[in-house]
Chain A
Amino acid sequence: MFRFFLTRLLTFVPTFIGVTLISFAFIRVLPGDPIIVMAGERGLSEARYQELREQFGFDQPLIVQFWDYLTGILHGNLGMSYVTKKPVWDEFFALFPATVELSLCAIVIAICLGIPAGVIAAVNRGKFFDRALMSTALVGYSMPIFWWALLLIIVFSGNLGWTPVSGRIDLLYYFPDATGFMLIDSLLSGQKGAFASAVEHLILPSIVLATIPLAVIARQTRSAMLEVLGEDYIRTARAKGLAPIRVSGLHALRNALIPVVTVIGLSVGVLLAGAILTETIFSWPGIGKWMVDSIYRRDYPVVQGGLLLIAGMVMIVNLIVDLLYGVINPKIRKR
């Protein structure tokens, strides 16, 4: 087990180098100059421009800049934001809880609805529920996120007035960041109505963000279940006189879970990518919005560092998924 863990950690190294290289190259390929952007409409003198170029190290050859960046990372230094002059690391972890809160809610919704839906569809294969569910899933999967988000906002926030349009909590409430998670902080603050307000603000963005993973999980669960339901051990379970819900929900699902967990792990990457759009639409102060803003500002260290940290998160989640395989299926554990 430990060796498996270690070899997996080793494969992180080339991935990390790749991600740093791509993010470094990607932001520099974009037209635009961070110094000009920073100067804004007033502009700046040629002398001042050269001075800043030297200060940021843009006068050095690209390869030297990359080397400096790489050695910086190895020292745990992701650089400072050009705009806020704060360390990227600090900014990331100040905003990250908001994204985690949203993504977690979304993935919980996707799992809690997607797995049962897939199981029920598989058990009722070819019947009305199965067909209805799978067509809905296909629609959900192919829907443009920004359009879906705007539609929900118009209907539920605009016309019906059930949910707030944007933000994480009502302006009426103020309390210090204890954990960065609004649901927990609002509870800790003890203010009446704060928690309900936080929940209300979470509903629409979570639904929007959950849509694609939900569709993927439901379809994957269904196909994995269909495969498993024909196995001999399912017949054995039924021959024991077990209730159908136990046969499909325990005996079949446990075996069907491997591909489903894989898809859930991969969804985390999709979620973080989807969070960029969703957070922008709902003005959700998470890393998605932060990344988009920093791309507009050509804030090189923020884009590079942000991408690297997000890639790190995705890799860690998929490592956890790999470890989960063994927990779910003992046959894999032996390897």
Chain B
Amino acid sequence: MALLSIRNLSVEFSTAGGPFRAVDGVDVTVDKGEILAIVGESGSGKSVSMMALMGLLPWTARITADEMSFDGTDLRSLTARQRRQVIGRDISMIFQEPMTSLNPCFTAGFQIKETLRQHLKLDRRARHARAIELMEMVGIPDPARRLNAFPHQLSGGMSQRVMIAMALACQPRLLIADEPTTALDVTIQAQILDLLQDLQKSTGMALILITHDMGVVAETAQRVQVQYAGQKVEEQPVRALFETPHHPYTAALLAALPERATERRLPTIPGVVPGQFDRPEGCLFSPRCRFADDICRHRAPPVQPPALGIARCHYPLDTAATEAAR
């Protein structure tokens, strides 16, 4: 049985300009100990769907799902208090901006121990020992001293390590990393990704990696799910996805990788993700798709079978077509 299973998740925000659908019928499945990458541009609803799972969205958000279960527990049926016992303990999350994600008024140690105190029955001394152990685990030198450091005394990389230590405090079975390296230097990015992979291996937890960096996906993920404008447009194991993308959007994303470029000028995808007021009829990607025809522009695309990457497309690509697209 899957560790996390979400079916047909939708999130709608009521805004001044009417309802805005940020997530539109997304399915997410993660097995125990698996690394799933969710990829997409800004505004594709990656973070919002995970925030909905964590219950972190503001009350203006309307969340609906046919299924939202974690390890057999239906999260939809839990009260707020019951859900808070799962959040931070069994499912935890780290965020994009480590520098602002730590509370500037409290020491790193306080913030790590707070999680321990919330979920585990440890006494003061045990919490202290566990906090030092966690700091060592995430590769922070001189942990006993760093426990007393305030966030403004830590670098971005160190802050993200503290965030990871905090997230791992109660040995979660699922860690959601929401663009954990976007705000960091390139050298630090690699370190943090390595750390996350090592920790995933040693603890056996599942990892959802939200990113828009295909390079990161190739290095870390086992399975990839591509989102576009709030919809899941494709899902495949990582190697198959890189070899044979079935959705034109995925193909275009891969073609835009510098490593794959054949010309001097890097190929780009023209246009931007549709917003609240310019959602097209039919396929949401059709205005930017080089293969789109009238059917694409007027009729919502079907979902293709797993052999075709569950692609949400009228004309899914196969290998030959992908080659032609390059």
Same complex origin of A and B:
yes
On A, residues with C-beta under 8 Å from B are 231-233, 235-243, 251, 254-255, 328-331, 334
Q: Which residues of B contact A328 (CB under 8 A)?
A: 105
CB-CB nearest 7 A-B residue pairs = A241-B88, A240-B88, A232-B100, A233-B103, A241-B84, A241-B87, A254-B105
| Contact-size category for B | 20 to 34
A68 to B84, CA, bound (A): 70
Q: Is B101 an interface residue (CB 8 A)?
A: yes
Q: What is the minimal beta-carbon distance from B269 to any residue of chain A, in angstroms?
A: 29
Stretch at the interface among B3-11, B114-122, B193-201, B283-291: B114-122
Q: Are B92 and A239 in contact (CB under 8 A)?
A: yes
Q: Are B95 and A331 in contact (CB under 8 A)?
A: no
Q: Which residues of A contact B152 (CB under 8 A)?
A: 330-331, 334
Q: Which residues of A contact B118 (CB under 8 A)?
A: 240-242
Contact of A241 among B86, B105, B106 (CB under 8 A): B86
Q: Which residues of B contact A235 (CB under 8 A)?
A: 56, 95, 101
A242 to B56, CA, bound (A): 12
A298 to B103, CA, bound (A): 56
B 129-169 to A, binary, CB cutoff 8 A, 1 in contact else 0: 00000000000000000000010100000000001001000
Q: Are B88 and A243 in contact (CB under 8 A)?
A: no
Contact of B84 among A232, A236, A243, A331 (CB under 8 A): A243
Q: What is the minimal beta-carbon distance from A228 to any residue of chain B, in angstroms?
A: 10
Known: A239-B56, A240-B88. A232 touches B105 (CB 8 A): no
| Minimum CB distance partner of A127 in chain B | B59
| Minimum CB distance partner of A229 in chain B | B58
Q: Are B114 and A242 in contact (CB under 8 A)?
A: yes
Q: Are A238 and B56 in contact (CB under 8 A)?
A: yes
Q: Is B251 an interface residue (CB 8 A)?
A: no
Q: Are B54 and A236 in contact (CB under 8 A)?
A: no
| Minimum CB distance partner of B86 in chain A | A241
Total A-B residue pairs with C-beta atoms closer than 8 Å? 72
Residue in A239, A254, A255, A328 with the greatest tally of chain B CB atoms within 10 Å: A239
A166 to B173, CA, bound (A): 67
| Minimum CB distance partner of A333 in chain B | B150
Chain A interface, >50% SS class: helix
22 contacts between A and B (CB under 8 A): A232-B95, A232-B97, A233-B100, A233-B101, A233-B102, A233-B104, A235-B56, A236-B103, A237-B103, A239-B93, A240-B88, A240-B92, A240-B118, A240-B166, A241-B84, A241-B119, A243-B81, A254-B106, A255-B105, A329-B105, A330-B150, A331-B104
Q: Is B212 an interface residue (CB 8 A)?
A: no
Residue in A240, A243, A330 with the greatest tally of chain B CB atoms within 10 Å: A240
Known: A231-B100, A330-B150. A240 touches B105 (CB 8 A): no
Q: Is B46 an interface residue (CB 8 A)?
A: no
Q: Is B89 an interface residue (CB 8 A)?
A: yes
A330 to B108, CA, bound (A): 12
Q: Is B14 an interface residue (CB 8 A)?
A: no
Q: Which residues of B contact A241 (CB under 8 A)?
A: 84-89, 115, 118-119
Known: A240-B114, A241-B84. A330 touches B105 (CB 8 A): yes
Q: Which residues of B contact A238 (CB under 8 A)?
A: 55-56, 87
Other A-B contacts than A235-B56, A241-B86, A241-B88, 17 sampled, CB-CB below 8 A, are A232-B100, A235-B95, A236-B163, A239-B54, A239-B56, A240-B166, A241-B87, A251-B103, A251-B106, A254-B103, A255-B103, A255-B104, A329-B105, A330-B105, A331-B150, A331-B152, A334-B152
A-facing residues in B53-112 (Cβ within 8 Å): 54-56, 81, 84-89, 92-93, 95, 97, 100-106
Q: Which residues of A contact B54 (CB under 8 A)?
A: 239
Q: What is the minimal beta-carbon distance from A88 to any residue of chain B, in angstroms?
A: 44
